Structure 1
């Protein structure tokens, strides 16, 4: 759940036990990140189902900045060592991340065996090793016809690279800054973000080598905006608790599903990243889910990171099999979504149980 006693995973995206007066859980934020992850699945299955869903990453980065600041800001200011902070982040992210790499590798091997994909052995080996330790594959620069993705084994892993990078920046520098200084950092990042957004004509950048430069301002602005939101509004009680909290959730999904003319695309993307994503996160703080929806919101939030980091490999295999039997359209998508959610939930539960058993002291 998006809570301060359980943590926030990716994108999004950390287990830490802290308490903050008046507010320890954010059910609306749980629901939002879960719905955003589902929109990412939709766009990777068929882009026309959610043509703007790549902007979910910008929302995830804002949310990550807020939650990381809430959980670790004061602890870093007191005495939490940098090494302990990074170890906690990697412990939280890596198990499912590694499984996502393995699922992606299985997908590539299967598709190559079926003749649907061409992958050199050296590319596969080097990319797997690099991606397996949160590093981009260098093969783009080492062969004639490389894959352009920085994380070709499991595409969504690219955002984890930028997530960890900005976590390092936070733990070494950002947490020390005043709100005014943070706003200045966000302003500089926003200027750079506007530049790359207009240069590339969209914000679907930072995941492939040709547009890699766009990843840094993208994560720096959104994460810093989340830290600012934490400083200004973190821990405050919700203004209203009720079904009105559905409104920002629906707004987020509508914005993800919106088809946008190409000539308006860079302006839409920049408006979302620089204004709407932070606004929606703030609405999630001010409007809280009713008690009847808390369990569902918690569950949707729980599966968000597993769905996000595991879905790509499942989609590759599913689309190949579905295409061979003539299955397509919405029915195929809902079958895929059920498979992805089921697999993600089961995997997350297995990882949680394994981590819990390892954390128990020996008797």
Structure 2
């Protein structure tokens, strides 16, 4: 078999640097929740996620929207993409919460709270009966706002000129920055009381990603130092804790400036060929890791907190467990369920009379 006959690797044609950065960011969020001292600013990864999502969705769907893709069709595709792993996350975190009653952790989550929150949460909607939007899987708040941002993309951002998109991003930033500085940190999102600031956070970062997507494209991205630099840079941003910078200012800088800049740089260069498979794999499991890591947090804290095992060792074990569970969810939940949902949607579309299909 000649080189030209070999199948292309799975990362061929992808933004591999962005995949790797997304994977590192997901692991940093998980580590922040497990042991805040090891990733003290891991939560600013969410600002990077929103900017990256705006970039990817705009690059992927804007041509389709201009060719006639409707808002309803777009949102169905977004739900199919997000819901299987969202559902897996809710299921495993709820099972983990129930197990707390028999593992010596106590009633961290009452049965009443589980019963009240699950019905809306299973529909990917925040619970109106609890202070936390998704009490069984707290990080799922950002997945809900991902859907809200997707709807805003189709209804508003796609229809605005670039100057209008820029105005939206600047306006959101003008309200977001003082709010973060006032509370001396940007770790917000999961509570109803933070809803307004969270919407500003989402709008600002997501629209920044849309703006980046409209910049000139670099079609050929050679492996080299730029991709490696981006992977190191996002890791440094999430685990660093410079004492000379106030927490609020650090978070604002990461959200407003650094995260969008890293998305732009990451779209222009790839890592070395040695790192490409690793970066691609981390990107493949990143969403799953984010969706399910909360389930493993309390069980594995037992070894760190109660048994006194080495924090660094347990941090590594925890992240490895998150990657393993994430891969299983991708392999046995996400891929087959998305395939099934797509078949159902396409079959239904074929049986709808042409006049009933929205334009």
Query: TM-score scaled to structure 1, two decimals?
Result: 0.86
Is 1:246 equivalent to 2:235 in the alignment?
no
Give the corresponding residue for 1:346: 328
Contact 1:96 1:348 in 2 (8 A): yes
Mapping of residues 281-300 of structure 1, within 5 Å? 281-300=263-282
Is 1:199 equivalent to 2:189 in the alignment?
no
Q: CA deviation at 1:271?
A: 0.8
Runs of 4 or more above 6 Å deviation: none
| 1:93-140 CA distance string (max 9 Å, x none) | 111110100111111111133352433332211111222212222223
Is 1:156 equivalent to 2:139 in the alignment?
yes
Q: CA deviation at 1:262?
A: 9.4
Give the corresponding residue for 1:18: none
Is 1:100 equivalent to 2:83 in the alignment?
no
Q: Against the structure 1 CA distance between its residues 215 and 249, is the aligned structure 2 distance closer, same or farther, given a 3 Å change threshold? A: same
Q: CA deviation at 1:33?
A: 0.5
Aligned mates of 1:122, 1:271 — CA distance in 2: 40
Give the corresponding residue for 1:169: 152
Q: CA deviation at 1:352?
A: 4.5
Contact 1:238 1:288 in 2 (8 A): no
Task: Please give the secondary structure, in 2, of the residue aligned with 1:288.
Answer: coil
Task: Please give the secondary structure, in 2, of the residue aligned with 1:137.
Answer: coil
Task: Please give the secondary structure, in 2, of the residue aligned with 1:35.
Answer: helix
Task: Please give the secondary structure, in 2, of the residue aligned with 1:111.
Answer: helix
Q: CA deviation at 1:324?
A: 4.7
Give the corresponding residue for 1:318: 300
| 1:47-73 CA distance string (max 9 Å, x none) | 000000100000000000000001111
Aligned mates of 1:258, 1:357 — CA distance in 2: 40
- Unmatched 5+ stretches in structure 2: 1-9, 348-359
Matched residue pairs, number?
334
Q: CA deviation at 1:322?
A: 5.3
Give the corresponding residue for 2:54: 65
Q: Against the structure 1 CA distance between its residues 351 and 275, is the aligned structure 2 distance closer, same or farther, given a 3 Å change threshold? A: same
Is 1:137 equivalent to 2:127 in the alignment?
yes
Give the corresponding residue for 1:302: 284
Is 1:121 equivalent to 2:111 in the alignment?
yes
Aligned mates of 1:335, 1:208 — CA distance in 2: 29
Task: Please give the secondary structure, in 2, of the residue aligned with 1:287.
Answer: coil
Aligned mates of 1:352, 1:211 — CA distance in 2: 30
Is 1:258 equivalent to 2:240 in the alignment?
yes
Contact 1:108 1:117 in 2 (8 A): no
Query: TM-score scaled to structure 2, two decimals?
Result: 0.87
Aligned mates of 1:238, 1:191 — CA distance in 2: 36
Correspondent of 1:225 among 203, 208, 220: 208
Contact 2:58 2:210 in 1 (8 A): yes
Structure label with greater radius of gyration:
2
253-262 or 159-168: bigger deviation? 253-262
Q: Against the structure 1 CA distance between its residues 33 and 325, is the aligned structure 2 distance closer, same or farther, given a 3 Å change threshold? A: same
Contact 2:50 2:202 in 1 (8 A): yes
